[in-house]
Amino acid sequence: MSRDVVAFFDFDGTLTTRDTLLSFLRYVVGTWKMMFKLPQLIWIVFQYLAKVIDNEEAKERTLTLLIKGMKFSHLEHLAKNFALTKLHKYINPVVYAKLEYHREQGHKIILVSANLGIYLRYWATLHKLDAVIATELEVNAESYMTGKLLTRNCYGIQKVTRIKDALSGNNIDYEYSFAYGNSAGDYELLEFVNEPYWVNGDYIEPWRGR
């Protein structure tokens, strides 16, 4: 049983200055296809805002619309390129400095994101993070994308559930934990750790609860 200090970081809006999923999808399918699908994408957003569908279904419908039928190897190639050549311009330097602090202290650093593991893992490897817990995509037996999610959307309580599964699955017990988040999707994560921090742009402050 290993005992360590761990720092959990949300990605979009925490380590980055904006959401990166739509940027990734536009990179994958191209601007013209994105524009062609815009009316359907707007309808998905409208249904989500009207609470007809939740964020998990909205994400799955968006992915089905844009990447269903794509060869997995092609998507993974694009995901690697996006992570290694595009993501850097979205990184929040203030929060990234916190990540570097934890690395210097020898803490384990784990990315916990509702975004897609297919590209976050490449970014995490580049920046020497220890693990990624994220939303995963379903691939069919012929290695084509179905547009469906393989896991639950890693948002809200699912972040904590996935962390607990990862800890028990790898026989890891942490003595002390930090977390950094910026939205309602991080509330449960922040409540789960010993020392939670709220990120608001360039400001990082102790989280005082909902």
What residue ranges of the chain have pLDDT lower than 70? 1-3
Confidence (pLDDT) at 38 = 93
Q: What is the pLDDT of residue 1?
A: 41
Q: How far apart are the first and last CA of the chain?
A: 33
CATH of domain 2-206: 3.40.50.1000
> What local confidence, expressed as pLDDT, does residue 3 receive?
59
Give the pLDDT score at 173: 75
Classified as helix, coil or strand, 161 is helix
Say which DSSP state 107 is in.
Answer: -
pLDDT computed for residue 209 by the predictor = 87
Structure tokens at 181: 């988040």
Full-prediction pTM beyond 0.85? Answer: yes
Looking at residue 6, what is its pLDDT? Answer: 93
Question: For residue 190, which amino acid is it?
Answer: L
Beta strands in the chain, from DSSP E residues, in sequence order? 2-9, 108-116, 131-135, 137-139, 145-149, 172-181, 195-200, 203-206
